Structure 1
Amino acid sequence: MRNTLLCCDWGTSSLRLSWVNTQELQIIDEVSGQEGIASTYNAWKESTDKNISQKEFFLQKLQQQINVLATKLGVDLNNIPVVLSGMASSSIGLEELAYAEVPFALDGSKATVRSFEKQPEFSHETVLISGVRNQRDVMRGEETQLIGLVHLMNLPDSKQKEIVFVFPGTHSKHIQVQNNAIINFQTYMTGEFFNLIAQHSILKNSIKNPKQEKLTEADWEGFSRGVQESAKATILHTLFSVRTNQLFNHLTKAQNFFYLSGLLIGTELRSLQQKTVPQIVLSSGSNLYPFYQRAIEELQLTDQTLVVSPEIIDKAAMVGQVRIFEQQLTPI
């Protein structure tokens, strides 16, 4: 099992565990599920065993996932090092770690990590990676993805000009890079705000999720209208147009669902129009990729935007974890 590593991207609502060939930077196999940090923390709080510590409980859950992967592969994964990133280093995770600060070098050398020795119940050396902060913002996980992305791609030279990497998600991140380091970043609660509006506001009665894999031209028309509407007023005003669209029969409820998405994504990305940004790199997974790409086209940001394929983004966190592991410890 030499030259392999167990890489775990443990987010708020999901977990992804990969067995990785570190020389070829290839995933041998993986398991994933909805056993995220939040649900695991809640399970620990509700546990009847009051003698088990938070760290011990999280290691037990991680060991269960390693066992699932080992059974799937038919191999013994004991003694293979584990590297963790994402929300595992938060106050509701395995152990809380202080954030690294900007400027943050993209070779992984400035990452804040904590190493744990093997234990009788957990036979893996473990490296826990923390996140990054600036004066008013924090992130956990995206910095590791970015380290991997920069390693994987022949990206524009950041020594001469600033590059903004856009990572869509529940809490989207716009990360400014210059001189091969993160110099600043901003968080946009686009995904979470969409879910709140769509599920818990008066506007939920004006939209309907069509739950179809492929959008129709009418769906895309609704999305584009939302992007364009985002320029007309502040979001607190334009949001009410979701209701009037339905009341005045301007859009169907299904179109309105995508209109709301366009309204919020358009609001997020318009911040890039307000800055002098020579280069934008859209770094999106497959679920949100077509929406952000369409919004960039609608906002006429295409000429200055490099779009990274979802396949590369899917691999970026793992590569970033390997890079940080190699920087912090002896080479694998």
Structure 2
Amino acid sequence: MDYPYVPVVRSASLSGYVELAQSLGLDARALLRKAGLSPRALDDPETPLSAAAVRALLEDSAQASGVDDFGLRMAARRHLANLGPISLVLKEEPTARAALDTLCRYLRLLNASLLTRVEDHGALVIIREEILVDQPASTRQSMELAVGVMHRILCELLGGPWKPVRVCFKHRPPKDTKAHKAFFGTAVDFNGEFNGIVCTAADLQTPLPGNNPEMARFARQYLDRALSGRHQSTKATVQQLVAALLPGGRCTSQQVAQHLGVDRRTIHRHLAREGESFATLLQAVRSELVLRQVQDSDLPLSEVAQLLGFAAPAAFSHWFRHTFGCSVTAWRAQEKAKAAVRQGEP
């Protein structure tokens, strides 16, 4: 069954793309057209673009330029103002933590495929990011752009020489990690358990100056109207929650229902109206996340199994072979051969 809508992002997500691509000797317009995007679409920052097309554009650009940190270089050109009206609301929140919670509320207006969660762990706070796509494709550049932009937002809100405790990515490291360490100002872990930023709770309680409450009030009213008019199907909502809950272990319809504040039977009823079931959605999301993890990271299979909610590596291996018709090792070898063909290698 097709998705009831196409996840979109604001054209502002590609702010600075043309300039960066041209500085690296790329034909930006040709790459945009290859991804199915019109160069004119970048003229208006509010133009909605296919999230899948933007992901493909970033991956193709990184490969064509031979630049592993293409997404981070995009993030380096970002400012809080690129968020549009949301930036006005964030600046008027009392603390950086309150601003983060507000950003999570309105994130769907910026990028319908990006899922951000803020978790408290004692003296630390973890800002987790996940990108949902409807096919097993690499999201390396999109993820580094997303985490890089989050870092830039926090730096601008907090001011001064702020730096996180840690930065983590699920995918494997590039050949040289110096650019990543220089960008974030701290150690960067690859092949990690999550994508995101770890910072201190104390840092996020830093008071924000705020100087334009009236403008922020109008901006919030505008955003709330936009959010109320943005319909999201039960399927899309459940997919997002499944992707967020799976790394914590088992993910059941009861857990999803609790997060949404409804009865489990309500979830099943609404999904049935859309021609879906919880079991099929869980299988689809798990398949997508597994393939991306296997493709982009070097994590041992035991850790991949744990991250995706399997009780044991053997259960994961059995599920993978049953779902994809081959072992993880064979699948990786096939993908490596396909990549070599695409790059013109013998």
**Greater strand share, structure number:** 1
> TM-score by structure 2 length?
0.26
TM-score (norm 1): 0.27
